[in-house]
Amino acid sequence: MNRVVIKLTGKLFSPENVKVLMEIADIIIEHKKRGLKLAVVVGGGETARKYISMASEAGVSLGWQDILGINASRVNAVLFSALLGDYAYYPIPTRIEEFIHAWNLDKIAVGGGLQPGQSNNAVAASLAELLNAELLINATTVDGVYDRDPRIDPNARILKELTIKELKNVLSQSYAPGKYELLDPIAISIIERAKLNIVFINAFKPYMLKSVLSGEKTYGSWVIP
């Protein structure tokens, strides 16, 4: 596996998760040294939610709330870039062209959102398509895609492998900023048309990322295009 796009949940970017972030950065550097080409998209997390909430209270439109979420996700991207040191592409990409630019220069671009009305997952999917990635790794807050809502149903279990059609059945999303879960319809449509390989893993268990980057299929939910 040589070409990978990683989506990191914004929930990682909280003071209590610094050690996890450092571990993830080290795993990525290690694989970069071995020749892996990769790009990283990070979510906005609690910072995004804070600013969206403030903007909402101030009566700012949902479009501008998106812009705030995007800018917040970029601060996360700066932090993660700082952890990657010389391996990172800097400054933070704010257009999809810059991600391509960084990729071709063999640097790890770490970016956040790009445009209002577009989830970070859609950015990651679009990148995976443009960069001809072999795998899109969606590192989220759960161990994979459950067959039922694990917060409600204790019998919910991880689906080891599923088709894109099955994935669509599982998912249900709303479009309010900062609330996109797993994958929104736009991301799904890009994934479908580009026939992307995706795996959902738990970002808070970095050994899962390490395993996936090593070419193993031990963890996570794998979506068959």
Site for a copy of itself contains 91 (CB under 8 A) = yes
Of 6, 8, 39, 55, the residue at the interface with a copy of itself (CB under 8 A) is: 55
Token reading at 146? 């459950």
Give the C-alpha separation, 157 to 198, whole Å: 18
Of 36, 115, 158, 181, the residue at the interface with a copy of itself (CB under 8 A) is: 115
Query: Closest approach of Cβ 56 to a copy of itself, in Å?
Result: 9
Tell me, what DSSP letter sits at residue 144?
S
Site for a copy of itself contains 193 (CB under 8 A) = yes
Token reading at 162? 């599923």
Residues 6+ apart with CB under 8 A from 188: 164, 167, 168, 171
Site for a copy of itself contains 53 (CB under 8 A) = yes
Distances 30 to 4, 42, 62, 210, 211 between C-alpha atoms, Å: 14, 19, 40, 10, 13
Give the C-alpha separation, 32 to 38, whole Å: 8
Bond prior to 91 in cis (omega within 30° of 0): yes
* Residue 192 backbone zone (phi > 0: left; psi -120 to 50: alpha; other: beta): alpha
Site for a copy of itself contains 2 (CB under 8 A) = no
Candidate ranges 10-18, 150-158, 200-208, 217-225; the one touching a copy of itself (CB under 8 A): 10-18
Candidate ranges 116-124, 142-150, 162-170, 216-224; the one touching a copy of itself (CB under 8 A): 116-124
Candidate ranges 58-66, 146-154, 198-206, 208-216; the one touching a copy of itself (CB under 8 A): 58-66
Using CB under 8 A as the criterion, which residues of the chain lie in contact with a copy of itself when the complex forms?
A: 13, 15, 18, 21-22, 37, 47, 50-51, 53-55, 57-58, 60-64, 67-68, 71-72, 74-75, 78-79, 82-83, 85-91, 94-98, 100-101, 103-105, 107, 114-118, 122, 125-126, 129-130, 132, 175-176, 185-186, 189-190, 193-194
